[in-house]
Amino acid sequence: MYDWRRQRIAACRPNRAHEVLAAWSARYTDFTLITQNVDGLHERAGTHNVLRMHGSIWEVGCWTRVRALRPVADETVRCR
C-alpha cells in the first residue's frame, strides 16, 4: 500500500506554494514550517526547518525499538 503511494509521490513536483515557502525560509532565518504533509515536497522545494507532524512517507518507523528505518517494500517491513 505505501509503496504504491511512494511511487505516485515520487512523480510529483513542488508547486508554486512550496516554492514561495522555500523562498521565505531562505529569507527569514527564524522561519519554521509546521506541516501535516508527509510527501516531502516542502523539502524538495528547498524549505529549511520543516517540522512534520505526521512523519514522512519516505521513512518507516519501528515502535518496538523506536528507530527510523529506510523505506523498503511493504511486505518486508518488520519490527524485531
Which residues are marked as active site? Answer: 54
Q: How far apart are CA 19 and CA 46, in angstroms?
A: 8
CB burial readout 35-58, b (16+ within 10 A) else e: bebbbbbbbebebeebebeeebbe
Residue with cell 504504491: 4
